[in-house]
Structure 1
Amino acid sequence: MLRRSFLTLFAAAAGLSACSSSPASPPSPAASAPAREFAFDRGGDRPLPTKVWLPAGSGPHPLIYFSHGLTSQPDDYADLLAAWAAAGFLVAGPKYPHTWYEAPDYDADDVVNQPADAQHVITELLTALGDRVDPQRIAAAGHSAGAITTVGLFSGTRDARLRAGLMIAGRQMEQPSPFTGPAAPLLFVQGKKDETVTYEQAYGAYNEVPWPKGFLEIPDGGHLPHRDEPALVAATTTDFWRWTLNGDQAARQRLPQDGLVSTF
């Protein structure tokens, strides 16, 4: 049986290759869930077309901003993002101008500019979606290079609007800055057998977080832990959002159960 471990410290004090409840049940993503497209642009050579998965109801909803990995795009994560939307969260993800899979001028090093892109898109979404978004309940998530982008939003390019963050196969940037600003719970999801972002790199970033934090290990997982264990990752991350963005204490109590076997 696959061993999974979840390290919970939520009560505690304050170059990449291409990225192509008892335990809570993950919400069922609806393939027909409504979505919208926005043509945001930060100027210069930084168009940021953004897809938004819309939850049911008029809102205001919490916003989860998602950053894709290298040579990828938001639709590559549609199952997970739609699951969050099915749970009541408004989810948005752009195609970054120089790292998505059809980028005309591909440049992996452009990841350093993506935290500023993220801040721009979040600001644009708050205007474009109006009362559908709760500006007091915003979080950021990402995979691989997108997770590195997310780390940047909590460190050198700190966005104080963010209340929580999720890093899937993520580490710090090459020239890391310390985590800074108001405390925000952070969750890391990592495949133990990942050879792109290594377990040691992910755990090193986790150890630098001074705030409430958690680490979900997928022992047989590689660089795509959300595909290796989709139900586990969907259930755990959804409960993380329910706790951090909705104040759901029952969801917080489920987190060690979602992650199974050991807690610390």
Structure 2
Amino acid sequence: MRVQRLVAALLVALVAGCGPAVAATDDRVPSFRPAPPRPYAVGVRHVVVDPDGSRPLPVTVWYPAEPAAPAESATRVTAGPTGGEAASGLTGSGTTARPDVPVAAGRFPVVVYSHGLHSLPDLHAPLTTRWAAAGFVVVAPTYPRTNLRSRDFTRADVRNQPADGWRLIRHLVRLDARPGDPLAGHLAVDRFAAAGHSAGGFTTAGMFTSGHSRRLRAGIVIAGGGLAGSFAGPVAPVLFVHGGADPMVPESVGRAAYARSLGPAAFLGLPGQGHGEYLTPGRPGFAQVLATTTDFLRWTLYDDRRARDRLPADAVLPGVTTLTTRALPGRG
């Protein structure tokens, strides 16, 4: 009940406004390649952004590592009407992250993943490591005043977190050009997405303020909603994921944010489900959430049209999930 009261208060505090998101500059476009045809092993490292500043930001980084899995072992099981355990879109089965192993060859799009109140990045590893296996660098900040171990927890600090997300993006742009760093030359610094759960979903929405850098190409809001000023231009596709019986952030809040968002959007509903049990492997809806989010990221960050086209079928399992879309290219 304590967390439920905190989230309810958070809704009241945040819809009124949030701190400005400062956009990254230098929209240079490095060389890039198509979506990977097979899953990767996964590495993990930890960095701290601005360690000597007033707001240090520890960050967990999951990334594609060598060796990639053989083509014949790539996971491509549709998670639609058959309700398979695996998701389409190369999620792979080896999602155990190995510390500080070499980064796979090539450049990879980046997903900034934001945790919720009283949470930590590692608690979201079942999802984030699978995204890394599918060919994304996933960077998850531990927010200073809302994480599980914070000594000065303050839910209102969520309004400052979108700026933290942009600070992290600027750091990664610099890091990609830093000689000697293991990630240097491996980040597609013109292809970022933001994603997050609960308060992290609100944080994600808050990064899409007016005039934000075009580096930020897509968003995934899980069990969250919009902030004042969010979903302004430039237009970027947004995927919403929400339980129909969420007791902490009502589904109506997510639906309202979906209605406010600009451009292509999709809403993956999980009737009868709560605040996030569908993010646990083996639970009803996990396969569809994994498949849909992976398809969405491959489409928006790799320009993978096949992923876009299979998204509706991957998303829907009758009795478990529903899908509403608006202006998805090729789908109307």
Instruction: Give the TM-score of the pair, scaled to structure 2.
Output: 0.67
Name the aligned partner's letter for residue 63 of structure 2: L
Question: Which residue is 1:24 aligned to?
Answer: none
Question: Which residue is 2:314 aligned to?
Answer: 258
Q: How many angstroms apart in 2 are the aligned matches of 1:109 and 1:43?
A: 23
The counterpart of 2:214, out of the listed 144, 151, 160, is 160
Question: Which residue is 2:47 aligned to?
Answer: 38
Q: How many angstroms apart in 2 are the aligned matches of 1:190 and 1:263?
A: 11
Name the aligned partner's letter for residue 163 of structure 1: R
Question: Which residue is 1:107 aligned to?
Answer: 154
Question: Which residue is 1:77 aligned to?
Answer: 124
The counterpart of 2:244, out of the listed 184, 188, 192, is 192
Residue-by-residue CA offset, 1:128-154 (whole Å, 9 max, x unaligned)? 233110112111100000010000011
Q: CA RMSD in A?
A: 2.3
Identity of aligned residues (%): 44
TM-superposed deviation, 1:172 = 1.8
Whether 1:238 and 2:294 are equivalent positions in the alignment is yes
Question: Which residue is 2:196 aligned to?
Answer: 142
Name the aligned partner's letter for residue 112 of structure 2: Y
TM-superposed deviation, 1:217 = 0.4
Question: Which residue is 2:7 aligned to?
Answer: 16
Question: Which residue is 2:21 aligned to?
Answer: none
Bigger shift: residues 49-58 or 155-164 = 155-164
TM-superposed deviation, 1:43 = 6.2
Name the aligned partner's letter for residue 155 of structure 2: A
TM-superposed deviation, 1:34 = 1.2
Greater relative CO, 1 or 2 (CA 8 Å, sep 6+): 1
Residue-by-residue CA offset, 1:7-48 (whole Å, 9 max, x unaligned)? xxxxxxxx5169xxxxxxxx9896xx2111101127654111
TM-superposed deviation, 1:96 = 0.2
Q: How many angstroms apart in 2 are the aligned matches of 1:42 and 1:139?
A: 24
Instruction: Give the TM-score of the pair, scaled to structure 1.
Output: 0.84
Larger-gyration structure (1/2)? 2
Aligned with 2:130: secondary structure? helix
Q: Is the 8 A contact 1:35 1:51 kept in 2?
A: yes
Question: Which residue is 1:203 aligned to?
Answer: 255
Q: How many angstroms apart in 1 are the aligned matches of 2:155 and 2:40?
A: 31
Whether 1:212 and 2:264 are equivalent positions in the alignment is yes
List alignment gaps of at least 5 residues for structure 2. 1-5, 10-37, 66-103, 176-182, 325-332
Question: Which residue is 2:62 aligned to?
Answer: 53
Q: How many angstroms apart in 2 are the aligned matches of 1:42 and 1:206?
A: 36
Q: Is the 8 A contact 2:206 2:230 kept in 1?
A: no
Q: How many angstroms apart in 1 are the aligned matches of 2:134 and 2:144?
A: 29
List alignment gaps of at least 5 residues for structure 1. 1-14, 19-26
Question: Which residue is 2:279 aligned to?
Answer: 226
